[in-house]
Amino acid sequence: DARVTQTPRHKVTEMGQEVTMRCQPILGHNTVFWYRQTMMQGLELLAYFRNRAPLDDSGMPKDRFSAEMPDATLATLKIQPSEPRDSAVYFCASGLVLGRDSYEQYFGPGTRLTVT
Amino acid sequence: GENVEQHPSTLSVQEGDSAVIKCTYSDSASNYFPWYKQELGKRPQLIIDIRSNVGEKKDQRIAVTLNKTAKHFSLHITETQPEDSAVYFCAARGDTGRRALTFGSGTRLQVQP
């Protein structure tokens, strides 16, 4: 039963510190998404990649957030410097897109970030 | 871009009753509509989806209906059980260009035993 994995599962840090979250997509999936979930905003898309190339990061605060896919098995989301308003659960999801066909998208377990 | 609205935000039903959650979308080009269930502290899990060439799809006690003309789709859960209690999210996605899902705001379903 292939699953998306994320590390760490929980992170508590002080304001101003750098935070790096990691995601391993399901093997064979070519599209990776980063979402942020808060009570107030629901599920927000931050960025997504296809075949490791960034396609859309318009939902991401550019001054402090960055997302990369150094290889097909690893996606990273970095916040530098972190702020208390960044406290949320960050989900990674992966899916498969082939030509005009898009398939199901599966979520990882999330990273619960608390910035004090 | 796509905008998905979901109603109601909370829903309480008695065990054994049916529950219906409704969503509307704005982009007529959207053609894939999944539903996710999220239990407290867990990841959203895909429970059923429907594509635009289908009007209805069923999987045991859950079904989804799609009305492309009206741009709305609904989740139906019959014979609800306490373990159906969770937050349910609808979503919509186009087939070209931006292929990311746009999510509704979620419905918190509480099934009273």
Residue A1 confidence (pLDDT): 67
Residue B34: asked if its preceding bond is cis (omega within 30°), the reply is: no
Could you list the pLDDT tens digit for every one of the 113 residues in chain B?
A: 789 999 999 999 999 999 999 999 998 888 889 999 999 999 999 999 998 888 999 999 999 999 999 999 999 999 999 999 999 999 998 766 667 889 999 999 999 99
State the smallest CA–CA distance between residue A90 and chain B in angstroms. Answer: 10
Residue A8: asked if its preceding bond is cis (omega within 30°), the reply is: yes
Q: What residues of chain B have any CB closer than 8 angstroms to a CB in chain A?
A: 32, 34, 36, 42-46, 49, 89, 93, 95-96, 98-106
Answer for the pair A17, A79: CB distance below 8 angstroms, yes or no.
no
Residue B98 confidence (pLDDT): 63
